[in-house]
Amino acid sequence: MKIIPYPHPTLRRVSKPLRRVDADLKSLIREMFDLMYEARGIGLAANQVGVPLRFFIVNLEAAPDKGEELVFINPVLSRAKGSGEAEEGCLSLPSLYGNVSRPKQIRVDAYNLQGQPYSATLTGLFSRCVQHESDHLDGVMFIDRMTDFARASIRETLEEFQIDFDSRRSMGEYGDDAAIAETWRQWESRYA
C-alpha cells in the first residue's frame, strides 16, 4: 500500500459509504496510520491509498506514541461557523503548501472503528484537518479551495506532478483508467 499522488483519478472519485468493517479493513487502517506517520501527516483519507470508501484517519500529533488515533467512518459535517485562513498541505501533494479559507468551527457526526457513533464540535487544527479529509471523500483537494490568485502561483508545480504521474503511469505503475475502475468496483462490491 502506498499514498497515491495528485493527479491520480482515485483522488477525484466521490467515495461510497462504508457498509461493514472486517479484520482485513482493520489491518488496512493500521497500515494507513503507519504510512501517515512515515509521511509526518496528521490525516489520511482512504482514497489517498486507493480505497474509494468514506473513511479517514487522524492523529493531530502525527506520531504513534503521542496524541490519539481517530477513525472517522461515513462522516457528515454540519453547522459550519465563522471563517479563517491557514496554510494546508496534503500527503498526495508532497512539499506543496497553500492558504485555504474554511469555516472555523464544524460539527462532525461519524462512526468509529468499533461501529459506535461519534459526534463532536471541532475548532482549530482539528476542525481544519477533518474538513480537509472530508473533502477528499468527495474528490475535493485543498488546491481546489485556494483562491485563483494563489492557485496561479502553484500552476507549474501542479504541472510537474502531472508530468511525474504520467511518466510513472506509462511505466505501468498505476494502471490505465480501466484497471483503476476495476479496483474501485472490487472495493465497492466488498464494502459499500
Q: Which positions are catalytic?
A: 133
For 132, list phi and psi in degrees, rounded to 5.
-60, -45
CB of 37 to Zn ion, least distance (A): 15
**Is 36 near Zn ion (CB under 5 A)?**
no
CB of 132 to Zn ion, least distance (A): 6
180 binds Zn ion (CB under 5 A): no
Binding of residue 90 to Zn ion (CB under 5 A): yes
**Closest approach of Cβ 35 to Zn ion, in Å?**
13
Nearest 5°: CA angle at 130, between 192 and 54? 5
Task: Tell me whether residue 29 or residue 90 sits nearer to Zn ion (CB atom).
Answer: 90
Stretch that binds Zn ion, among 12-20, 84-92, 147-155, 160-168 (CB under 5 A): 84-92
* CA 40 from centre of chain: 14
Nearer residue to Zn ion within complex by CB, 24 or 34: 34
**Three-class secondary structure of residue 4 per DSSP:** coil
Residue nearest to Zn ion according to CB distances in the complex: 90
- DSSP class per residue in 35-101: HHHHTT-SEEEGGGGT--BSEEEE-TT-STTSS--EEEEEEEEEEEE--EEEEEEETTEEEEEEEEE
3-state secondary structure of 107: strand
Residue of 159, 172, 180, 182 whose CA lies nearest to 7: 159
| Helix (H) or strand (E) run with residue 7 in it | none
Which of the stretches 29-37, 83-91, 159-167, 178-186 binds Zn ion when contact is defined by CB under 5 A? 83-91
Size of residue set near Zn ion by CB under 5 A:
1
Q: Is residue 49 a contact point for Zn ion (CB under 5 A)?
A: no
**Residue placing its CB nearer to Zn ion in the complex, 51 or 90:** 90
- Rounded to a whole number of angstroms, the minimum distance from the CB of residue 26 to Zn ion is 22
Shortest distance in whole angstroms from residue 9 CB to Zn ion: 16
Which residue is listed with cell 459509504? 17
> Which residues of the shown chain bind Zn ion in the complex (CB under 5 A)?
90
